[in-house]
Structure 1
Amino acid sequence: MRYQLSISVTALTVLALSACGTQSGAGDGGEGGGSVQPDVPVNGVHWSVDSVTVDGSKTEAPAGAHVEIDDKGRAGGNYGCNHFGADVKIDGDTITVGPAEMTEMACDKKVQGFEEALRAAFAGTLKAKLTDGRLTLTTETGDSIALTSEPPSPLVGTKWTVNSLVSGKSATSLPAGTENKAHLTFGKDGSVSGSLGCNRFTSTAKVSGDSITLGRLASTRKLCQGPEMDLERELVKVLDEGTVKYELKHRSLTLTASNGKGLAAVAAETSGEK
Structure 2
Amino acid sequence: MRILRAAVPALLAVAALTACSNGQTPASPPPQDDLLNRTFVSTTVSGTPIPGGGPLTVEFVEPDRISATAGCNRASGTVDLRDGKLTTGTLATTMMACIGDKGEADAWMTSLLEASPAWSLTDDTLTLRSDSTTVTLLDKKVAQPDRPLVGTTWVVDTTIDPNAITTSAALEQSTPTLTIAPDGNVTGSTGCNRFTGTAQVSGDTVTFGPLATTRMACMGEVADVERAVLTVLDGQTTATVDADRLRLMRADGHGLGLHAQ
* TM bracket (short chain): 0.5 to 0.7
Name the structure 2 match of 1:171.
Answer: 164
| Contact 1:77 1:84 (C-alpha < 8 Å) held by counterparts | yes
| Contact 2:38 2:59 (C-alpha < 8 Å) held by counterparts | yes
Of 139, 142, 146, which residue of structure 2 is paired with 1:149?
A: 139
The count of residues paired between Structure 1 and Structure 2 equals: 226
Q: 1:254 to 1:58 in 2, by over 3 A?
A: same
Kindly name which structure, 1 or 2, has the bigger radius of gyration based on alpha carbons.
2
Q: What is the CA deviation profile of residues 114-133 of structure 1, one whole-angstrom value per residue up to 9, with x for unaligned ones?
A: 76356535632223355673
| Contact 2:155 2:176 (C-alpha < 8 Å) held by counterparts | yes
Matched ranges for 1:258-269 at <5 A = 259-266=252-259, 268=260
* 5+ long unaligned stretches in structure 1: 1-13, 18-39, 270-274
- Structure having the higher strand fraction is 1
| Contact 1:118 1:145 (C-alpha < 8 Å) held by counterparts | no
Name the structure 1 match of 2:229.
Answer: 235
- DSSP-derived class of the 2:90 partner: strand
Using the TM superposition, give the Cα deviation of residue 254 of structure 1 relative to its aligned residue in structure 2, in angstroms. 2.8
Of 92, 96, 100, which residue of structure 1 is paired with 2:91?
A: 100
Seq. identity, %: 31
* Greater relative contact order, per chain length (Cα 8 Å cut-off, separation 6+): 1
Of 107, 110, 120, which residue of structure 1 is paired with 2:110?
A: 120
Name the structure 2 match of 1:246.
Answer: 238
Q: 1:50 to 1:207 in 2, by over 3 A?
A: same
Is residue 89 of structure 2 the alignment partner of residue 69 of structure 1? no
Q: 1:15 to 1:195 in 2, by over 3 A?
A: farther
Q: Report the Cα distance in structure 1 between the residues aligned to 2:125 and 2:64, rounded to whole angstroms.
A: 21
- Structure having the higher helix fraction is 2
Is residue 257 of structure 2 the alignment partner of residue 257 of structure 1? no
Q: Report the Cα distance in structure 2 between the residues aligned to 1:166 and 1:44, rounded to whole angstroms.
A: 25
Q: Residue type matched to 1:95 in 2? A: L
TM-score, L = length of structure 1:
0.59
Q: Report the Cα distance in structure 2 between the residues aligned to 1:129 and 1:88, rounded to whole angstroms.
A: 15
Q: 1:158 to 1:225 in 2, by over 3 A?
A: same
Using the TM superposition, give the Cα deviation of residue 226 of structure 1 relative to its aligned residue in structure 2, in angstroms. 6.0
| Contact 2:36 2:60 (C-alpha < 8 Å) held by counterparts | no
Q: Report the Cα distance in structure 1 between the residues aligned to 2:185 and 2:94, rounded to whole angstroms.
A: 34
CA RMSD between the two structures: 4.4
Q: Report the Cα distance in structure 2 between the residues aligned to 1:107 and 1:200, rounded to whole angstroms.
A: 35
